[in-house]
Structure 1
Amino acid sequence: MNKNELNLVTSKFTSGFGVTIFNTTINLYILTVYNSGEILGKVMAIAGISSVISSLLGGYLSDYYNKKSLLKFLDISSLILCLIAIPLSYTNNLMVILVLVFLLNMNNNFSSPVFKSLIPDIVTKDKIPRFNSRLATINELNKIGTPIVATYFFSRQIIDIQEVLFINAITYLLSYIYVNKVDIIDKNLAHFRKVSFFQSYKSSYSYIHKNHLLAYLVYTGFFSNIFLGGFNLILPLYATEVLGNNELYGIFLSFEAVGVLLGVFSSNLIKLDEKLISERILLLISGFLLIIPSIWVSKYSIILVCFILNFSLGRYNIALQNYIQINVEKGYLGKVFAVIFTLSALSGPLGSVVFGYITNIFLKDIFIIISIGIILINLIWILWVIKERYNEKKHIDN
């Protein structure tokens, strides 16, 4: 990894470190101060709404404005927001907290499509897969270690929300410094005529549908996340109501995180499939394994499924990002990522609502429904790509 790439990774890690600390402790802070699951639900809903709005806006602006300048602006605005919020947080005013959560999550989700669309301007095409793999590995290590440290210090009152906001502000400052050091290697970037927000996404929708594989990637991602949302919902219910042990839920989440981390790390050692067939086969196998908890009611069956499913997802997400960054035109790159982020933000809660209703009817057998959904979605993709390859070969032979 050269100095330019290292600056980009360091910028992402530092800001992500601050965001993870904030998102972890804000939930504990709300439960400590307000002692209300309802208020926590409102905060999570606010965060979800902001992610939808900001992802679309970030995708639109990243295709028409300087991406590096956008990231620098987001870092500075987030830094100022954190500093302003420090004295206001002493009031324990709920409206202050809601606005703070909305704006910080908006800035964070705004930067996601901008950052991902910037990578091809910084990293040469042949190095994108390895760069994405290393970046994802670092991000997953952050997700595993940072919440544990943040929870430990906050629970023991070593830090409070004011210290968390100050730490967050420092990480945004560091992110700004490292983004500022990044040099754009692609000096001959195409300039696209600026159009309105709605016209822009209308053209992007048409662009996605012209590429059948890309369209199917986007839509299968949406439906897959609905079933994965159901899986995430069922984990705490299975731990408490079926196995009767609340602490098992934390263990399940730990094995999910380790699975993702090892899946991402394995992409450095085992080459990813450009058409994602190998990664889809892994998800297909994971789909079949999801049947096991319905047959074998045990914490070990859930641990096995959590690990293998998330190992497969870790590899798949890297392969998906590689495919988009290499195959999508730069004029559409930010908006395509924004569409994916937006659909993901919508599908997770939708899956929770749908499967939340189903769990009221039957609980243990819900794994079979999730299993069938994951199997069908990935099986269709595998057959689709095999058919495309057969048609290409037939065309060449003729």
Structure 2
Amino acid sequence: MKKLEKNEVLLWFGSWTSKIGNIVFDYANSMSIVSSFSGKTWILALYQSSETIIQIIFNLIGGAKADKGSRKKIVIITDILAAIVCAVLSFFVDTGCMAEVMICANAILAVIYAFNSPTYKSIIREMVKKNRIGFYNSVSNAGGELIGIAGPIIGVGLVQIIGTRGALLFDAGTFLLSAFAESLLKRVIEVSKPENEKNNVISDIMDGFKYLIREKEILFLVILAALVNFFLAGYNLLLPYTDVMFENEFHNFYSKALVMEAIGGVIGSALCSKIAGKFKDDIRALILFLGGTGMTMFIESAASILKNMYVCLVPFILFGIMLTCFNIMFMSHVQTAVDEVYLGRVFSIIFTVAVLFMPLGSFAFSFFVNMRSVKSYALVGGGIIMLSMIGLIVNKINNKKM
């Protein structure tokens, strides 16, 4: 077991408490809207969609600010602002304007997150030793997976015990705890940010794109991640329909598949904590893990023939392992390989592209795949495998040029 360092513990604590707050916030608000406006589904749709639109607009700005200002101050301030929003929102529960205020609050939190997320990813370079970034990301991801499982349960319990208002005040407390943990961080490396005469956000964002175009390997990874998200949208679209696919064989298969995928995520995180150092700069290994996610979808299509629930659930564990390893290795490589000056902007571009490609994939696969057939997983998996093969070829060509 590796010895834990203070900054790593503080960053994990800050990230996990914020994630708990986000999960409880979404659950409490969604349940409140559903119970109060059961006949107006468009209110919940507006609440959920506003976040995506705002992320597309503000992610790039957040990344540019992360590269120009103090990252530590930005993550602290954004968490404090999130706490204030939750606390203020709690006073509007059970009022006549609750829906409007909740939608506005969610929009404000989406703006805050657009600044916090790329900054939090890029601050790792300053606060964690380079040779430990893979290990840090592995543990962070494992904790996130466990919170993803426990979060909704916590949300249900809080709303039932202390009500929606109490749950929102609990959220405010989690964000304040996160800000406190971040205030104790100490840099392990000094970051020198060059003076830049330009003080224009648009110019800063364009500089980030120019950097990506110059750095072919990083650009290749960003494009790969974007295309992966397109196909993963197909997987996410199919997953809830597993209840329909297996309605004559199994009961509540969807919920079981979600649990198996989360378990796979924890296993994948544990695996990566052991091998991250060995493969941190190995693009080929990263692409092979990606290809593994596609292969698990082929296995699921084949496993369905046996009509055994346990056999059919195994591919979802494998999928969680493969996708988690790919994500951890991808993030770790970006955090170590990208120039410190452009790190926030690169992450903001990655997040923006991800937000754009997921809905595109969802709509595309909704037209071209049969939602009632488990064989549709083979189509999505085949796309990922083909993408991985192309990635391996491109990577081999790039290595020959070096």
Q: What is the TM-score normalised by the length of structure 1?
A: 0.91
* Backbone CA RMSD of aligned residues: 2.1
Structure 1 position 105 matched with structure 2 position 110? yes
More divergent stretch after superposition (317-326 vs 15-24): 15-24
Report what 2:94 is aligned to.
90
What SS does the corresponding residue of 2:190 show, helix, strand or coil? Answer: coil
CA distance 1:254–1:390, shift in 2 (3 Å): same
Q: Distance in 1 between matches of 2:240 and 2:61?
A: 34
Match for 2:270: what amino acid?
F
- Which of 25, 28, 32 is matched with 1:25 structurally? 28
Structure 1 equivalent of residue 137 of structure 2: 132
Aligned partners of 1:302 and 1:52: how far apart in 2? Answer: 36
Say whether 1:181 aligns with 2:184.
yes
Matched residue, 1:54? 58
CA–CA separation in structure 1 for the residues paired with 2:290 and 2:140: 22
| Amino acid corresponding to residue 59 of structure 1 in structure 2 | G
The 8 Å contact of residues 283 and 309 in structure 1, kept in 2 or not, is answered as no
Corresponding letter in the other structure for 1:22: F
Residue identity matched to 2:295: F
In 2, Cα distance between equivalents of 1:251 and 1:25: 23
344-353 or 195-204: bigger deviation: 195-204
Partners in 1 of 2:383 and 2:202 — Cα distance? 32
Report if the CA contact (8 A) 2:234-2:361 is conserved: yes
Alignment of 1:172-251 (within 5 A): 172-193=175-196, 194-243=198-247, 247-251=252-256
Q: Which residue of 2 aligns with 1:285?
A: 292
Shift of the alpha carbon at 1:228? Answer: 0.5
SS in 1 for 2:186: coil
The correspondence for 2:318, drawn from 288, 308, 314, is: 308
Alignment of 1:1-398 (within 5 A): 1-35=4-38, 36-91=40-95, 93-154=98-159, 157-193=160-196, 194-243=198-247, 247-271=252-276, 273=279, 274-297=281-304, 298=307, 299-300=309-310, 302-359=312-369, 363-392=373-402
1:82-106 deviations in Å (ceiling 9; x for gaps): 1211111221521111111111233
Task: Output the CA distance in 2 between the equivalents of 1:38 and 1:44.
Answer: 10
Q: Tell me how far apart the structure 2 counterparts of residues 246 and 351 of structure 1 sit (CA, whole Å).
A: 28
Identical-residue share of aligned pairs (%): 25
1:128 & 1:288 partners in 2: Cα distance?
28
Give the drift of 1:114.
Answer: 0.5
**Partner-residue secondary structure (3-state), 1:90:** coil
Q: Spell out, residue by residue over 1:246-300, the C-alpha distance to the aligned partner (whole angstroms, 9 max, x if none).
A: 7221111111111112111111123452123223213213313312444443444
Change (3 A) 1:300 1:359: farther
CA contact (8 A) 2:75 2:116 kept: yes
Closer, same or farther: CA 209–177 of 1 in aligned 2, 3 Å: same
> Which residue type is aligned with residue 345 of structure 2?
K
Tell me the CA shift for residue 184 of structure 1: 2.3
Q: Tell me which amino acid in the other structure corresponds to 1:158.
A: I
Checking the alignment, whether the CA contact within 8 Å between 1:276 and 1:316 is kept in structure 2 is no
Distance in 2 separating the partners of 1:98 and 1:111: 20
Query: Residue 162 of structure 2 aligns to a residue in which SS?
Result: coil
Structure 1 residues 39 and 249, CA gap change in structure 2 (3 angstroms): farther
Change (3 A) 1:286 1:172: closer
Judge conservation of contact 2:158–2:167 (CA < 8 Å) in 1.
no
Q: Secondary structure at the match of 2:161?
A: coil
Distance 1:361 1:108 in 2: 33
In the alignment, the residues of structure 2 paired with residue 59 and residue 336 of structure 1 have an alpha-carbon distance, to the nearest angstrom, of 7
TM-score in terms of structure 2 length: 0.90
Is the 8 Å Cα contact of residues 22 and 164 (structure 1) preserved in structure 2?
A: yes
The amino acid across from 1:53 in the alignment is I
* Residues in 2 aligned to 1:222 and 1:207: alpha-carbon distance in whole angstroms: 18
Give the SS at the match of 1:189. Answer: coil
Could you tell me which amino acid in structure 1 is paired with residue 260 of structure 2? F
Q: 1:198 to 1:301 in 2, by over 3 A?
A: farther
Name the CA distance, whole Å, in 2 between partners of 1:280 and 1:366. 23
User: What is the total number of aligned residue pairs between the two structures?
Assistant: 390
Distance 2:191 2:20 in 1: 33
How far the C-alpha of 1:319 sits from its partner, in A, is: 0.8
Give per-residue Cα distances to partners, 1:303-353, cap 9 Å, x unaligned.
Answer: 233221221111111111111111111111000000111111121222111
C-alpha deviation, 1:210, in angstroms: 1.6
- Can you give the 5+ residue segments of structure 1 that lack an aligned partner in the other structure? 393-398
Pick which of 285-294 and 328-337 moved more. 285-294
Cα distance in 1 for residues equivalent to 2:261 and 2:207: 37
Q: CA deviation at 1:363?
A: 4.1
The residue type paired with residue 261 of structure 2 is E
Q: Contact conserved, 1:264 with 1:315, CA < 8 A, in 2?
A: yes
Residue by residue over 1:103-160, the C-alpha shift from the partner in whole angstroms, topping out at 9 and shown as x without a partner, is 1233234211001111111122222222222222222222122222223443xx2232
> What SS does the aligned partner of 1:159 have?
helix
